[in-house]
């Protein structure tokens, strides 16, 4: 018969004590390593084509790995509030070279490469390049034309080119009708809040990527807040005309019957009235301090 004692010792002493020690060490190792890795942003291989060769038939899988890494990279930077997204372009480049049909990667790039800090890398010209490569590789994807038009419209403010992109996209099979309308509208009016909101709503609704959606939602809320404040400012003007004085607070607009209830921003924070008679976002609102980006001049 074999003794059972070693098993008991293993299960009751060695494993618990050992893993407790491992646990404790890991906690402090995590701290140590965080210091060592602070600026660990780097890519050993920046050439997508080289990686493609090296990855043999696993390119598609590797693309997913890089895609994950891209999202993680962006997410971590946002969390740490670091404004430099230097690796975003090479990462997206690698990902899309390994898997040229990973549409979400192009769309991700369209938004976050183009947007200025702290939301993105502020490199709209790289975003255009990426999207154009995406269009070449995926001609059937009319949404990529939408994205191209969007970059021209939103970041580069090149409305003829934006209009042209929307028009091209509208000719693709399956493209939604509004693409044509949008092309005409942008060609005619250039920038308008209506178009901006519509485009952000489209971006929001046409993807499942949570980062893109969250960003689009944020933009929509900012645009809505901008609209609200313009409306409030008009009401303040009406108040001044009627009472020949500035209101002290926005509540006065309510008691004057100009406003039906307390005016709140899309995050639920009440707007406040500045000393200059202009409405503002509540300082505690998460939207406060964010750049709206729709004003015609920047």
Partner 1 sequence: MTGPAIEIEGLTKDYPVGFWLAKKKRSLDNLTMQVERGEVFGFLGPNGAGKTTTLKLLVGLIFPTAGTARILGQPVSDVGMHREIGYLPEQPYFYDYLTAYEVLDYFARFHDLTAAERRARVEGLLKKVGLETAGKIQLRKYSKGMLQRVGLAQAIVHNPQVVILDEPMSGLDPVGRREVRDIILELKRDGRTVLFSTHILSDAEMLCDRVGVIAGGTLRGVGAPGEIVGLKAKGMEILFELAGGSGGAAIAAQATQTGNRYRIQVPEEELFGALEQLRGAGARILAVAQVKATLEDYFLELVGAEGAQGAAVEVSGR
Partner 2 sequence: MKHAGIVAWNTFREAVRDRVLYNLVFFALLMIAAAVLVGQISIGIEEVVIVSLGLTAISVIGLLMAVFIGVGLVYKEMDKRTLYALLAKPVHRWEFLLGKFGGLLLTLTVNTAAMAAGLFGAMLLVQPALKAADLCVLIAVYFILLKLAIVVALALLFSCFTTPLLAILFTTGLYVTGVFAQQIRGFGNITGSRTLDAVAVWFSYLLPNFENFNVIAAAAHRRAIPGALVLQNTAYAVIYCAIVLAAASVIFSRRNLK
Q: Which residues bind partner 2 (CB under 8 A)?
A: 2, 6-7, 10, 14-15, 18-19, 21-23, 25-30, 32-33, 35-37, 40, 42, 44, 72
Partner interacting with residue 44 (select from partner 1, partner 2, none; CB below 5-8 Å by kind): partner 2
Is the link from the previous residue into 112 a cis peptide, with omega within 30 of 0? no
CB of 112 to partner 1, least distance (A): 55
**Distance (Å, whole) CA 142 – CA 124:** 20
- Coil, strand or helix at 81: coil
Partner interacting with residue 194 (select from partner 2, partner 1, none; CB below 5-8 Å by kind): none
CB of 38 to partner 2, least distance (A): 9
**272 within 8 A of 282, measured Cβ to Cβ:** yes
**261 within 8 A of 278, measured Cβ to Cβ:** no
Pick from 3, 28, 32, 248 the residue near partner 1 by CB under 8 A.
3
Terminal-residue alpha carbon distance, the chain:
86
CB of 7 to partner 1, least distance (A): 14
Pick from 2, 44, 56, 79 the residue near partner 1 by CB under 8 A.
2
DSSP string, 150-193: HHHHHTS--HHHHHHHHHHHHTSTT--THHHHHHHHHHHH-S-H
CB of 213 to partner 2, least distance (A): 16
CB of 117 to partner 2, least distance (A): 23
Partner interacting with residue 1 (select from partner 1, partner 2, none; CB below 5-8 Å by kind): partner 1
- Coil, strand or helix at 280: strand
Binding site for partner 1 (CB under 8 A): 1-3
């Amino acid at each position: 018969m074999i003794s059972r004692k070693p098993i008991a010792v293993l299960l009751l002493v060695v494993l618990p004590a050992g893993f407790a020690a491992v646990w404790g060490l890991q906690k402090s190792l995590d701290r140590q390593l965080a210091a060592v890795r602070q600026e660990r942003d780097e890519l050993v291989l920046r050439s997508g084509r080289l990686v493609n060769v090296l990855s043999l038939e696993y390119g598609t899988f590797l693309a997913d790995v890089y895609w994950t890494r891209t999202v993680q990279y962006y997410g971590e930077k946002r969390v740490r509030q670091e404004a430099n997204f230097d690796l975003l372009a090479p990462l997206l480049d690698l990902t899309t070279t390994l898997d040229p049909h990973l549409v979400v990667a192009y769309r991700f790039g369209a938004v976050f490469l183009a947007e200025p800090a702290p939301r993105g890398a502020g490199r709209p010209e790289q975003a255009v390049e990426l999207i154009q490569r995406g269009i070449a590789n995926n001609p059937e994807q009319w949404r990529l034309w939408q994205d191209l038009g969007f970059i021209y419209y939103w970041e580069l403010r090149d409305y003829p080119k934006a209009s042209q992109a929307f028009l091209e996209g509208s000719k693709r099979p399956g493209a939604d009708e509004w693409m044509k309308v949008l092309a005409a509208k942008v060609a005619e009016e250039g920038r308008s809040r209506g178009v901006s909101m519509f485009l952000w709503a489209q971006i929001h609704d046409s993807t499942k990527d949570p980062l893109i959606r969250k960003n689009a939602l944020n933009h929509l809320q900012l645009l809505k807040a901008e609209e609200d404040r313009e409306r409030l400012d008009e009401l303040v003007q009406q108040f001044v005309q009627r009472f020949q004085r500035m209101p002290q607070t926005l509540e006065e607009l309510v008691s004057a019957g100009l406003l039906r209830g307390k005016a709140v921003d899309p995050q639920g924070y009440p707007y406040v009235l500045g000393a200059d008679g202009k409405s503002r976002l509540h300082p505690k609102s998460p939207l406060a301090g964010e750049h709206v980006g729709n004003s015609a001049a920047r």
